[in-house]
Amino acid sequence: MIKRGTSKRLPKPNEVKLHLRKNDMVVVITGKDKGKIGKVLQVFPRRGRAIVEGVNVVKKHMKPTPRSSGGIIEKPAPIHISNLMLYCPKCKRGVKVAKKFLEDGSKVRICKKCGEIFEAKE
Ligand SMILES: [Zn+2]
């Protein structure tokens, strides 16, 4: 007999609180891509890393497969989020983020400098 639990309790992943989300525009503040601005394509909360368009691009050698001819492909590799800052289009630079509650109770991220709201539309 299979015992059925009423609630599925999954252990919560040890998530790091990230100041970045998918589709954010960010600036790289250290490393070989310093100063580059790109869009966050993917975040890895547990690893504290993110993939940013055009940043930390690595060349990968692909073996030919029946589906592709192989060769070298360029792909952005994950970069640690401590190397990234949110890009503020008003300040035209990487900025620190502050949190703010709107009248409807929702929490948004704003630019600490100019108050621009960053919340990306889902
Ligand atoms: Zn700003």
pLDDT in tens, 57-115: 999 898 888 887 889 989 999 999 999 999 999 999 999 999 999 899 988 999 999 99
How do residues 12-67 score in pLDDT, each as one tens digit? Answer: 555 556 778 999 999 999 999 999 999 999 999 889 999 999 999 999 898 888 88
- Give the Å distance between the CA of 57 and the centre of ligand 1: 28
For 109, residues 6+ apart whose C-beta sits below 8 A from its C-beta are 19, 86, 97, 98, 99, 100, 117, 118, 119
- Give the Å distance between the CA of 52 and the centre of ligand 1: 20
Alpha-carbon gap, residue 80 to 72, rounded angstroms: 24
> 25, 87 in Cβ contact below 8 A?
yes
DSSP-assigned beta bridge partners for residue 42: 51
- Give the Å distance between the CA of 26 and the centre of ligand 1: 12
- Give the Å distance between the CA of 113 and the centre of ligand 1: 5
For 25-92, the fitting CATH number among 3.40.50.10860, 2.60.120.620, 2.30.30.30, 1.20.120.10 is 2.30.30.30
- Give the Å distance between the CA of 95 and the centre of ligand 1: 7
Q: Which DSSP letter does residue 103 get?
A: T
> 81, 19 in Cβ contact below 8 A?
yes
> 29, 94 in Cβ contact below 8 A?
yes
Burial class of residue 29, CB neighbours in 10 A (0-12, 13-18, 19+): middle
